[in-house]
Structure 1
Amino acid sequence: FTVEKLFGNTCYCNSVLQALYFCRPFREKILAYRSQPRRKENLLTCLADLFHSIANQKRKVGVIPPKKFITRLRKENELFDNYMQQDAHEFLNYLLNTIADLLQEERKQDKQNGKLANGTLDSQKSNGTPPATTWVHEIFQGTLTNETRCLTCETISSKDEDFLDLSVDVEQNTSITHCLRGFSNTETLCSEYKYYCEECRSKQEAHKRMRVKKLPMILALHLKRFKYMEQLQRYTKLSYRVVFPLELRLFNTSGDATNPERLYDLVAVVVHCGSGPNRGHYIAIVKSHDFWLLFDDDIVEKIDAQAIEEFYGLTSEISKNSESGYILFYQSRD
């Protein structure tokens, strides 16, 4: 079953929803949420209804218009309240954060009504999980640690930050592994960018680097393909060829010996077709029952695993009008 394009450019939304539907842990949580007592309508209830109608269709093939979901989205956020093309990554970000906020709000309400499990209000704390964590965080959240080492006194200061998706810079003729390695490169802070060291109580030269401290269950990787060009006064697309494998081995770069590496499988890709962020088109490639499907709004076709290579990007910069992987969803095997 596929999602139909509705009134205006909604492919940025359709492609992300189709990709998320095939992220099994996410789909299962959404469908489980749908079976709970009804809440007042919001973006999450609309998404749950949409996933439910896809999952429970009696017919083998067909099209489902995400009318209620799109109407709700436009009501909730003025950024999407128009007929223009939007950025699929911005939409993904907004959707995951909104669902997490709604779940946290519901938990707060239940807590106030004394409805939490086992009749105890603190049951969430007893298993070591902070009350703020939702299943969105359990599925998509990873942790980065930002380390700065003073080159004078060798003191390392580190600050953790969580992410629901990881945005990485792209270069010509590279791979996802290379992009992630570049993400963790050490940078020297010197001259006017010196770091204020608390230990030395003065500005010092320092080494700074970002490391992955905790890998998520589903890693959503956003390739930064849109770059603002000063001379053009607008964003342009980097159609660089970036290879993304079907299987990705990731190392925990923070030196945590308990979980040194994880193996990930590619489960979905949101592809941008065209030359710029506010024009062009989005399609989704997903893995279902060991074969690959290409969703182009309401058109679905089965494709060969080899055909995915066509969406790596272009080796020449002459043509900017390309079909290139934009958001990649990798699911951890464990």
Structure 2
Amino acid sequence: MSRPNTRNKSKRPRADDCESPSAVFKKIHSTGAITKGDIKQLYMVWKPVCHGCHGNSKDSPNCFCGLIPAANGVRKSGLWQRTNEIIRALGPNPSTDLRDSTETPAGLTNLGATCYANSILQCLYMNTSFRLGIFSLEPDILKMHPVLDQLARLFAQLHSSKMAFIDSAPFIKTLELDNGVQQDSHEFLTLFLSLLEGSLSHSKVPGARTIVQHLFRGSVSHVTRCSSCGRDSEASSKMEDFYELELNIKGLNNLEQSLDDYLSTEALDGENQYFCESCQKRVDATRCIKLRSLPPVVNFQLKRYVFLPKV
């Protein structure tokens, strides 16, 4: 006598009006419309509330046994009931960390991919002259320029807060930066200083109005000298402002060598001969960069990437 099959007796039967997901998708594709019934079927909302099982039912949105097990269920503890245990395993909450004193530097929260901005903000804050210039801004100017207002608030927290790190979210939000996209620190500094220069120009405080130009702006000129008559070109006397010096580092061992390379003399000969206005002909010449004035703070941009043309 064969043994009766009882394997499927404990399984909960599906509702009579339930269709398979593939059938629902075919119907949606053919009709171009989605009904509430289709949504209930695809997400299996029609399934009854679970009253205790061995674990979360993967295909039931109404089973929460893995989070809060039923009193009559097999599982005795759920994920939510283990919250304290999980938190203890993670260690102390860093949001409650305090710094030893206001003399100890405070950190800035990394909101995902904002470390490039945080590093620039820390450098600017540690510049005493720049920090004092921001602190001296008039309240009316801060109200008119939200970026200046948030920068002043951030600097004030870095200066006097007892917390070990400061939340940079309000400042990042004001600049409308994408937390999930990594950017170049040099590019951020260039754009940020340009923004600050324009905003600070409305201030009536002398030390604040031109703080960016005073601290970071220098001037250079590109000098071309004729090897025949020894005269410089007219354009050689023209000075250009700079806020950073871009230095090559490939094949160079230190900053001094990079500066020597930046200021090195280039020979203009052969096909690259220079047309001298005094000699009225093409002649050999030299070209170099001359530093005309240096700011109190010089930003060096190290050119870590080299353009490689396609072969």
TM-score by length of 2: 0.59
Q: 2 CA distance for matches of 1:196 and 1:173?
A: 33
Please give the secondary structure, in 1, of the residue aligned with 2:191. Answer: helix
User: Bigger CA drift: 190-199 or 208-217?
Assistant: 190-199
The answer to whether the Cα contact below 8 Å between 1:34 and 1:52 also exists between their aligned partners in 2 is no
Q: 14, 25, 29: which is aligned to 2:133?
A: 29
State the shift of 1:200 in Å. Answer: 2.9
The answer to whether the Cα contact below 8 Å between 2:267 and 2:287 also exists between their aligned partners in 1 is yes
Corresponding residue for 1:10?
114
Change in Cα spacing, 1:202 to 1:73, as seen in structure 2 (3 Å) is: farther
Q: 2 CA distance for matches of 1:138 and 1:211?
A: 20
Q: 54, 66, 74: which is aligned to 2:168?
A: 66
Please give the secondary structure, in 2, of the residue aligned with 1:139. Answer: helix
The answer to whether the Cα contact below 8 Å between 1:139 and 1:216 also exists between their aligned partners in 2 is yes
Change in Cα spacing, 1:173 to 1:152, as seen in structure 2 (3 Å) is: closer
Q: 2 CA distance for matches of 1:26 and 1:161?
A: 23
Unpaired stretches in structure 2, ≥5 consecutive residues = 1-105
Q: 1 CA distance for matches of 2:291 and 2:200?
A: 26
| Amino acid across the alignment from 1:71 | K
Indicate whether 1:155 and 2:231 are aligned.
Answer: yes
Please give the secondary structure, in 1, of the residue aligned with 2:136. Answer: helix
Q: 1 CA distance for matches of 2:108 and 2:140?
A: 24
* Greater relative contact order, per chain length (Cα 8 Å cut-off, separation 6+): 1
Corresponding residue for 2:299?
220
Corresponding residue for 2:217?
141
State the shift of 1:36 in Å. Answer: 6.4
Corresponding residue for 2:271?
192
Q: 2 CA distance for matches of 1:82 and 1:37?
A: 27
The answer to whether the Cα contact below 8 Å between 2:133 and 2:211 also exists between their aligned partners in 1 is yes
Corresponding residue for 2:192?
95
| Amino acid across the alignment from 2:174 | R
Corresponding residue for 2:82?
none
Please give the secondary structure, in 1, of the residue aligned with 2:133. Answer: helix
Corresponding residue for 2:284?
205
Instruction: Give deviations 1:212-232, integer Å, cap 9, x for gaps.
Output: 111210111111112233359
Instruction: Give deviations 1:72-114, integer Å, cap 9, x for gaps.
Output: 222xxxxx5462211001001111111112223x15xxxxxxx
State the shift of 1:42 in Å. Answer: 3.3
Q: 1 CA distance for matches of 2:252 and 2:285?
A: 31
Q: 1 CA distance for matches of 2:277 and 2:170?
A: 54
Q: Structure 1 vs Structure 2: percent identity of aligned residues? A: 32
Please give the secondary structure, in 1, of the residue aligned with 2:290. Answer: strand
Instruction: Give deviations 1:188-227, integer Å, cap 9, x for gaps.
Output: 1223323232323343321001021112101111111122
Q: 1 CA distance for matches of 2:166 and 2:152?
A: 14
Normalized per residue, the structure richer in strand is 1
Instruction: Give deviations 1:151-193, integer Å, cap 9, x for gaps.
Output: 2221113121111111111134511111111111000122332
Unpaired stretches in structure 1, ≥5 consecutive residues = 75-79, 108-115, 118-123, 125-132, 233-334
After superposition, the CA RMSD in angstroms is 2.5
| Amino acid across the alignment from 1:186 | T
TM-score by length of 1: 0.55
Normalized per residue, the structure richer in helix is 2
The answer to whether the Cα contact below 8 Å between 2:142 and 2:148 also exists between their aligned partners in 1 is no
| Amino acid across the alignment from 1:97 | S
Corresponding residue for 1:164?
243
| Amino acid across the alignment from 1:14 | N
Higher Rg: 2
Aligned pair count reads 202
Q: 1 CA distance for matches of 2:274 and 2:252?
A: 34
Corresponding residue for 1:83?
180
